[in-house]
Amino acid sequence: MKYIIDGYNMLRHPLFNSYLSENPEDTVKAIVPALKEEAGVNFIIVFDGKFEIPPDLINFVRTSGKSQDADSYIVNLLLREGTENKIVVTNDVHLSMRIRSIGGRVISVEEFFQIVRKKRSRISKRIVTKDGMSKKEMDEINRELKELWGIE
């Protein structure tokens, strides 16, 4: 599944607004690694306007350019590539209606945040140390040590 994210709509949400910066490039540099590495989701984030996208993030970020807004860019992307295996992430009611009118699927920013949290949780459970211990095993040992030392 590929998530097409309405960038500014998501970043204005309280769950994500800590990433928002005066400079769009800084915002992109903060949010993309968080979604890519921590959550492991397949996505692109679409922003209004035109600004320089860092080369290492070009596969994850699109700008709508000056001739259209991000909403139109997202709709046109789905019309061009199809709606199968794609979900648009937005709380924008007007964009949601446009996406659904062409057969697309929409989820809210809150729903996306829940998906990201679940994926991040599954990823952290799969982390294994060089000694072969899982994160769960390490957490259990840490809990026992803290209890033994009277820290918790």
Tell me whether residue 144 is in a domain. Answer: no
25/28 Cα distance (integer angstroms)? 5
Tell me whether residue 132 is in a domain. Answer: no
User: Which are the contacts of 22, defined by CB distance < 8 A and separation ≥ 6?
Assistant: none
CATH number for 109: 3.40.50
Tell me whether residue 136 is in a domain. Answer: no
134/34 Cα distance (integer angstroms)? 22
Tell me whether residue 58 is in a domain. Answer: yes
Q: When comparing pLDDT for 20 and 4, which is higher?
A: 4
pLDDT, position 125:
47
Q: Output the six-digit token pair for 77.
A: 């992307």
**Domains of the chain: total:** 1
At residue 145, does pLDDT exceed 60? yes
pLDDT, position 63:
86
User: Which are the contacts of 38, defined by CB distance < 8 A and separation ≥ 6?
Assistant: 116, 120, 123
Tell me whether residue 134 is in a domain. Answer: no
Tell me whether residue 147 is in a domain. Answer: no
**Which pLDDT band holds residue 124 (cuts at 50, 70, 90)?**
very low
What are the tens digits of pLDDT across the range 60-118?
889 888 889 999 999 999 999 999 999 999 999 999 999 999 999 999 999 998 888 77
Q: When comparing pLDDT for 119 and 101, which is higher?
A: 101
Chain centroid to CA 138:
28
**Which pLDDT band holds residue 150 (cuts at 50, 70, 90)?**
confident
User: Which are the contacts of 110, defined by CB distance < 8 A and separation ≥ 6?
Assistant: 13, 15, 91
pLDDT, position 132:
60
Q: When comparing pLDDT for 89 and 13, which is higher?
A: 89
Tell me whether residue 11 is in a domain. Answer: yes
> Would you tell me how many other CB atoms lie within 10 Å of the CB of residue 129?
10
What are the tens digits of pLDDT across the range 34-72?
787 766 778 999 988 877 787 888 888 898 888 899 999
Domain that holds residue 9: 2-126
Tell me whether residue 151 is in a domain. Answer: no
